[in-house]
Chain A
Amino acid sequence: MKIGESVPRSDGWSKVTGKEKYAADYYGPDFLWAGAKRAGIPHGRLLGIDAEGARKCPGVVSVLTHDDVPGPNRQGIVRQDQPVLVDGKIRRCGDAVALVLAHDRQTLKRAVDLVRLDVEPLPGVFDMEAALAADTPLVHEDWPSGNLLRHVAVSKGQGGKGLDLCDAIVEFYFETPRQEHAFLETQAGWAFSDEAGKIVIVASTQTPFRDRLEVAHALSLDANDVRVIAPYLGGAFGGKDGLTVQALLALAVLNSGGRPVKMWWDREESFRAGVKRLPGRMYYRLGARSDGRMTALACRLYFDGGPYAGLAGEIMTMAVEHAGGPYRIPHVQADGFCVYTNNPTGGPFRGFGVPQAAAAMEQAVDLLAEKLRMDPLELRMRNILVPGDRNCIGVAMVHSTSAGECLSALASHPLWKGREAWVRSAGPFKRRGIGVACLSHAMGYPKDVPDRAGAKIELTPVGTVRVYVGVSDMGQGNAATYLQIAGHMLDQDAERLELVLPDTERTLPCGSASASRCTYVYGNALIEAVAALRARILETASLLFPCAAGELALAPGCVLRRTTGETVPLSRISTALSDGRLVECFYQAPVAEEDSGIIYMGPHTIFSYGAHLARVEVDELTGAVEVTDYLAITDAGRIINPRLFEGQIEGAVAQGLGYALTESFAVEEGVILSASLATYTAPTALDVPDVASLAVGAAEETGPFGMKGAGEIAVSGPFPAVANGVAQAIGVRVKAGPLTAERLLLAGIDGTCDPKGPGP
């Protein structure tokens, strides 16, 4: 259990033997099943709900509508604009309009189909730029800026005028697709009313503490009467950051006659009702001096947020903050527009806006290199942020900043050095190219949102160490990492360490499992708590022996007096400590020194970095792209568990490759066309190459054992790296992703394609 070792994760055993219980795995003889009637049309006025047929169905307990929702019937994280059950207007096909409770799943499905909706269809808003036109229908009549959910503008130096100082300017337009999380465990949970009348919700959620407040608000409950428990999640990637089943389950429990209720969306409902990565449209103008110094960037970013705010405006803001990549650019004008539409709701997805911006920026950088007749890697190295530099919104890099080391490691890697011979040796009807991309990713919350977590640790009466974790583990292994930290600091082995997973009643508030923040912020709180417990243990042992504390060391299950070899068991120490065997510590992450006013919610201060390389082979006859090799170099500070770290990088690369090549959540006029895994193609084992992963860079001084966030950085690399490789291979740069065989073939291999697009 040492820091820096690839300790096997503690939850591996229960998962690999099928014993781990996820939110979806609970059943009981008295459970009711809840299911939502979804709107099925993107925009309309709800005139009536005919639930008689469903109510008469044998086995149906009740059919609930907005009339049964106590309180404001509005949920949302920053702005509460989404009804739990539609009470006036339908704003997307996936809106929940009625909630059916039934004894079993078959009855539930039948009854949901029997609910009839009387809807007056309204003209919808489906295009993120057309949505802003004056005569367009409104998604929310009461929002002061119409369909513009949020606009963010950042100006630095001379702003867009800086382009006048440039010798070479490239214009580039790019569209990124809507991406579906496709986590394996679809949205699930169950809830019941406990003896005290409290509603207990066990859900697959990244945000147990925030859920509690959101549910309480939507249903006018006291937050103290709602308890949320989050078991291990079967994947989430941002798609469970916010309410899915929680408010519906709470509403169901209020009407279940005391019986527990389970809700588990099937794959189709998950696709239809769940949030997606926001599609983006990006207009870039990037300029440099003739010697390759990047000088000015002017860009406009449009993001389709769908009909509910969620975190869509914040995601677009993060894209603006990263619009200029990890480069030193003195003059910047970046404008972001997040737009309400009647398309599926946009929401958090690993990367949180950065993948969209990186897909555009890193292709623009390659175009600029081409224009300057410079090597694309050389151009990047020339402009890479170093400590002390200011990023594109003007924030000084005062923490670990090893982006340059990432690029250097890439430059000396055989996959880069051997590039020319490899490209030349393409077989018949194949073209080869090598693309690179350079990345940054902010960790944690922006300045105006306190980034806090509370750690609690206990030396139990039997002498084990119990870590109470209030931040979810959606699969990334942060919970196991906490045990590794505790085990390392207290010299305990895996058998003597226990976890309590997030439970608003038992664990301390920790914020969301998101933003690459989990191990950093909770880890820092935990280190403080463990250090305090360790000091108490040694102090108590020194009284029990008695001897000087300096003679003592912790060992598995005991305290050892090194001079004599005597031991005292930790169980005895626990008894002696009494209440002192529990330690609680809160940690709050540092914030940027720069003014909050430079960007909505304020800037970030700590960033991770990456440099990626993709070797791609394009089939001239079919347009199909194969990524034969992939290299991901990451600066995430020091690595606590190399195998878990690699897992994050490799998994993010696979998701990024899907984003680049095959994953497009098809929607036409608000109607979802890809509601199954047959029509939405996430990568299989045959579609992802072995990924070479390297960790480089300085320790992050503020991070637990020198680490900083690693969960998201790598997801942003594959799209631009592959696109740059494809452009090199076939001379085509398409205007929209994913880079499907069809799209490349239609673009015309070796054809000419105007990279400027429709604007700006």
Chain B
Amino acid sequence: MKISFTLNGRATIIEADPGRRVIDLLREDLGLTGTKEACGTGECGACTILVDGESRLSCLMLAPQLEGRAITTIEGAAPDGRAASDVQEAFVSHGAVQCGFCTPGMVLAVYDLLKRDRAPGRARIREAISGNLCRCTGYGKIVDAVCAVVAERNRTGGRGQGNDR
């Protein structure tokens, strides 16, 4: 079937089997391998994408659920014309990235959080990323990174550079 949606800001029309998982469509058909699969059953959060700005698990979505939606994957997470968002920069500079396999999903889960809550504390951040497993960092450095973004945005009054569409 034909499915029309916006992918990382670009109008996209694809032909897909209605039973095809969104993660396969992204990774295999569209070559967007930044979205990771680590469980396939909605338990780890590695496949997180943004659907109309809200975090969703692409391993639990089927192609028709994209119809008419605006999708952001990690490849489209940086603001237009920039290499990385403030969240992405903070992840790198605070040591929140180790093996990196949870990172794309983790970054997008943080986008969702910061859209809902402009000033989350550490406990709120931990709760918001608790659906995203990380086996390397122990989470502390990820929470540090998000706190730094929150502090910087509140200092500059910026609503953030994240492309959360």
* A residues at B contact (CB < 8 Å): 6, 8-9, 11-13, 15-22, 24-25, 27, 105, 181-186, 232-237, 266-267, 474-477, 643-644, 646-647, 650-655, 676-678, 682, 684-686, 688, 690-691
Contacts and interface: CB of A to CB of B under 8 A. Distances in A.
Contacts of B35: 18
Which of A236, A477, A644, A651 is packed against the most chain B CB atoms within 10 Å?
A651
A9 B96 CA distance: 10
A684 B139 CA distance: 8
Q: Which 8 A-B pairs have the closest CB atoms?
A: A18-B34, A475-B99, A15-B100, A234-B101, A654-B138, A18-B74, A12-B92, A650-B138
A183 B135 contact: yes
B77 A17 contact: yes
A12 B97 CA distance: 6
A9 B137 CA distance: 14
B38 A185 contact: yes
Nearest to A182: B135
26 contacts: A11-B97, A17-B74, A17-B78, A17-B83, A17-B84, A18-B73, A18-B75, A22-B101, A181-B135, A184-B44, A184-B101, A184-B102, A184-B135, A185-B99, A185-B101, A235-B101, A236-B99, A267-B38, A475-B101, A647-B137, A655-B138, A678-B41, A678-B43, A684-B130, A685-B139, A686-B127
Nearest to B128: A685
Contacts of B95: 6, 8-9, 643-644, 646-647
Given A9-B95, A185-B38, A654-B137, 6 more contacts: A11-B97, A15-B103, A18-B34, A20-B100, A647-B137, A651-B137
A685 B33 contact: no
B91 to A, nearest CB: 5
A318 to B, nearest CB: 22
A25 B101 contact: no
Contact of A232 (B32, B88, B99): B99
Contacts of A654: 137-139
A267 B100 contact: no
A16 B39 contact: no
Contacts of B142: 685
Contacts of B129: 685
A22 B35 CA distance: 12
B114 interface: no
A677 B42 CA distance: 9
Interface of B: 24, 27-28, 31-41, 43-44, 46, 73-75, 77-78, 83-84, 88, 91-95, 97-104, 107, 122, 125-127, 129-143
B133 A266 contact: no
Contacts of B133: 182, 184, 677, 682, 684
Nearest to A693: B140
Given A8-B92, A186-B38, A685-B143, A651 B33 contact: no
B158 to A, nearest CB: 19
B97 A15 contact: yes
A686 B126 contact: yes
B57 to A, nearest CB: 13
Nearest to B24: A105
B136 A647 contact: yes
A232 B100 CA distance: 9
A24 B28 CA distance: 11
A233 B101 CA distance: 8
A651 B43 CA distance: 20
Contact of B33 (A16, A21, A184, A475): A21
For the residues of A in contact with B, the DSSP-based class is loop
Given A267-B38, A686-B127, A647 B98 contact: yes
Contacts of A186: 38
A19 B135 CA distance: 20
Contact of B141 (A22, A183, A185, A646): A646
A676 B39 contact: yes
A653 B136 CA distance: 10
Contacts of A236: 99
A629 to B, nearest CB: 12
A233 B126 contact: no
A185 B133 CA distance: 12
A646 to B, nearest CB: 7
Contacts of A19: 34, 75
Contacts of A181: 135
Contact of B140 (A235, A650, A676): A650
B62 to A, nearest CB: 14
B104 A18 contact: yes
Which of B94, B107, B130, B134 is packed against the most chain A CB atoms within 10 Å?
B134
A475 B41 contact: no
Contacts of B38: 184-186, 234, 267
Given A6-B95, A653-B138, A685-B126, A13 B101 contact: no
B136 A475 contact: yes
Contacts of A233: 99
B163 to A, nearest CB: 12
Contacts of A17: 34, 74-75, 77-78, 83-84, 88
Nearest to A678: B43
B99 to A, nearest CB: 3
A235 B102 CA distance: 10
Contact of B136 (A18, A22, A27, A651): A651
Contact of A25 (B33, B97, B131): B33
A234 B99 contact: yes
B41 A677 contact: yes
A688 B139 contact: yes
Nearest to A650: B138
Contacts of B24: 105
B99 A474 contact: yes
Contacts of A16: 74, 84, 88, 91-92, 97, 100, 103-104, 107
Contacts of B31: 27
Nearest to B102: A184
Nearest to B127: A686
B109 to A, nearest CB: 10
Contacts of A477: 98
Given A12-B91, A17-B84, A651 B44 contact: no
A629 B42 CA distance: 30
A17 B87 CA distance: 11
Nearest to B109: A685
Contact of B138 (A21, A27, A474, A691): A691
A18 B78 CA distance: 11
Nearest to B94: A643
A8 B93 contact: yes
Contacts of B36: 24, 184-185, 234
